[in-house]
Structure 1
Amino acid sequence: MLFDNHNRPITYLRLAVTDRCNLRCFYCMPEAGIRYLPKQQLLTYEEMERLVAVLARMGVSKLRLTGGEPFVRAGLMGFLERLSVIPGMDELHMTTNGVLTAPHVADMARLGIKSVNLSLDTLDRARFHQITRRDELPAVLTTLDELLAHNIRVKINAVVMDGQNTQDLFALAELARNQPIDVRFIEEMPFNGEGNHYPVLTWTHQRILAELKSFYPDLQPRPAAPHATATTWQAPGHVGTMGIIAAYTRTFCGSCNRIRLTAQGTLKTCLYDNGVLDVRALLRSGATNDDLTAAFLKAFAHRPKNGFEAEAHRPEVTESMSTIGG
């Protein structure tokens, strides 16, 4: 087992395979997009594969591929194939916006993808276009149908945004009525390339829960999974569940087991830190696997206690989630 300086296990890696995305979501980046990194500044698949293998030997057993949007990077399925056989990496998961995903779902099932986090903030086509600045809702819903048809566990991630999609909470929650879907409502974070959209966050996890209880007065709490970021609820008669992620309020830091590697090879031991290790530089300067292991251990030994401590040691948060890795 691998532990940080606060005795929290580190078992979960979120790996961004690209900073590019085919949507322009309101909460993730400005309408004009962000300045993408030149290809040579991104980790190669071979470099990523080596890092995953090193971390697996250290005790990391769960991997989630993120972006940007993973499926905009060429060769992704071959990379997934190689990741699926790395010893010690027991769980392979993905996060996607679903626009390009549907044709690959059968192969994802064959490779044993455990779950997919599908970004979906509304079921209304006009509001989807407004939020994402692209008219791609039909493609996302096709992906949802394919994932369910291939028995891949689906978690829908819906960022709750004042003035954007708060009228959609009930429709999204209803997806869990007859299907084994986990619908998770997420507090908006300032990772949109511009900083906070609001002087005060009004749609906190408490308000989201109150809204859900207005729809489902008999909403029942579900037992929390170890290291879960979401508090989970279920309405009587529903097959699936609803979850609330206090991503801005940061109520779950005490059990956090995850680290992040950005597409450019920056290690983040907390979503809110400014990056703690340039892994790409180590790789390209000839570091051995033992060197990488030692550098990781040193970084994990100085991990912030929570997101507030991490944020206090950096300038203002202005980067895009597409750059960080979702």
Structure 2
Amino acid sequence: MLIDTFGRTIDYIRVSVTKQCNFRCQYCMPDTPMDFYEDENHIPLEAMATFLKIAIDEGIKKIRITGGEPLLRKDLSTLISSIHKYAPEVEIALTSNAFLLKKYALSLKQAGLERINISLDSLKPDRIIKISKKDALKSILEGIDEAQKVGLKIKLNMVPIKGINDDEIIEILEFARSKNITLRYIEYMENTHAKNGLKGLKEVEILDIVKRKYPLKLIEKENFGPAKIYVLQDNYVFGIIAPHNDDFCKTCNRIRITSEGTICPCLYYQESVDAKPAILSRSTKQMKDALLESVQNKPEKNLWNEEMKTDEISARAFYYTGG
């Protein structure tokens, strides 16, 4: 069992399999050239699978595959299949922009994928282009439909940004509800790689908008999860992930590993553990030691807050670590 110095059990690892992405979202990597390519330092997925099996042996119960855009890795189903065969009880999930999902949904499901989180920041084609620099809405919606068809469990993620898509809070809620898909609003997390001047909606602002049309009540904070869960009168459930709140980190149960083998104990901080030599050497002891070190290095909380100073803005690149 992996337990950090604050008594939290760490049983969830997020695995970035690539820094590459076919979108250039304003809140993530808007100024990165479209021909950006720095993937020659990738850990081979076969070696990453070996590390993940050790992590499972140490107590990891959930694995989420992220990027960049993970569906750009054509051997992704092989990684999922390897993990699923080793430990069928471990939940395997994926976070994707869904642009390529229609093509891969069935093979991912057959390999052992259970869940997928899909970014959907607008239902207007021109806004998707503005946000992501990609004419992608049609492909995203087709990917959602195909994922439902093959039986993947889906959550939609929306990042509301003032002056860009904040007038679609209700529209996306109603879209998700119409498809019986869970929605998570995610507060924009300030970072130095995002477009200058972005202002996200905080939890209270999102709730105020929803309340104008739908009565709701708080059900609970997810056990060992980042979201607060709310329910409408018709029993539709949605969540808000609010890293600016004081209680966001109290039940954090996750660490992250990048495609280059760097283990990040916290999404906010740059501090990390270089596990690449251990993974490439296939040394069980060294991989286990790196995993344990990262857990012991996990900080108590991030510094995202309402009064964040300029010099406190996170330098973490989300496309590098995964969100």
Normalised to the residue count of structure 2, the TM-score between the two structures is 0.91
Distance change in 2, residues 1:143/1:235 (3 Å): same
1:70-109 map, 5 Å: 70-87=70-87, 90-109=90-109
Instruction: Give the distance between the partners of 2:159 and 2:207, measured in 1 at CA.
Output: 14
Q: 2:27, 2:195 within 8 Å by CA — same for their partners in 1?
A: no
Instruction: Give the distance between the partners of 1:250 and 1:148, measured in 2 at CA.
Output: 35
2:276 aligned partner, one-letter code = R
Instruction: Give the distance between the partners of 1:178 and 1:39, measured in 2 at CA.
Output: 39
1:39-188 map, 5 Å: 39-87=39-87, 90-188=90-188
Instruction: Give the distance between the partners of 1:39 and 1:202, measured in 2 at CA.
Output: 31
Distance change in 2, residues 1:114/1:202 (3 Å): closer
1:292 aligned partner, one-letter code = M
Residues 5-41 of structure 1: CA deviation (Å, up to 9, x unaligned) = 1110100010000000001111111244388553331
CA-atom RMSD in angstroms? 2.4
Q: 1:220, 1:235 within 8 Å by CA — same for their partners in 2?
A: yes
Residue 160 of structure 1 deviates from its aligned partner by 1.1
Q: 2:258 maps to which residue?
A: 262
2:217 aligned partner, one-letter code = Q
Query: Are residue 289 (structure 1) and residue 287 (structure 2) matched?
Result: no
Q: 1:192, 1:321 within 8 Å by CA — same for their partners in 2?
A: no
Segment drifting more, 119-128 vs 75-84: 75-84
Residue 77 of structure 1 deviates from its aligned partner by 1.7
Residue 308 of structure 1 deviates from its aligned partner by 2.2
Residues 201-221 of structure 1: CA deviation (Å, up to 9, x unaligned) = 5611111111111121x2122
Residue 79 of structure 1 deviates from its aligned partner by 2.0
Distance change in 2, residues 1:141/1:202 (3 Å): closer
Query: Are residue 298 (structure 1) and residue 293 (structure 2) matched?
Result: yes
Q: 1:228 maps to which residue?
A: 225
Normalised to the residue count of structure 1, the TM-score between the two structures is 0.90
Segment drifting more, 173-182 vs 186-195: 186-195
Q: 1:269, 1:303 within 8 Å by CA — same for their partners in 2?
A: yes
Distance change in 2, residues 1:5/1:193 (3 Å): same
Q: 2:276 maps to which residue?
A: 280
Identity %: 28
Q: 1:13, 1:60 within 8 Å by CA — same for their partners in 2?
A: yes
Instruction: Give the distance between the partners of 1:232 and 1:8, measured in 2 at CA.
Output: 21
Tell me, which stretches of 5 or more residues in structure 2 are unaligned?
none
Q: 2:204 maps to which residue?
A: 206
Residues 60-101 of structure 1: CA deviation (Å, up to 9, x unaligned) = 010000000011122222222212212376100000000001
Segment drifting more, 100-109 vs 45-54: 100-109
Within the candidate set 239, 242, 256, 1:246 is matched to: 242
Q: 1:60, 1:88 within 8 Å by CA — same for their partners in 2?
A: no
Instruction: Give the distance between the partners of 1:202 and 1:136, measured in 2 at CA.
Output: 22
- Three-state SS of the structure 2 residue aligned to 1:233 is strand
Tell me, which stretches of 5 or more residues in structure 1 are unaligned?
none
Residue 166 of structure 1 deviates from its aligned partner by 0.2
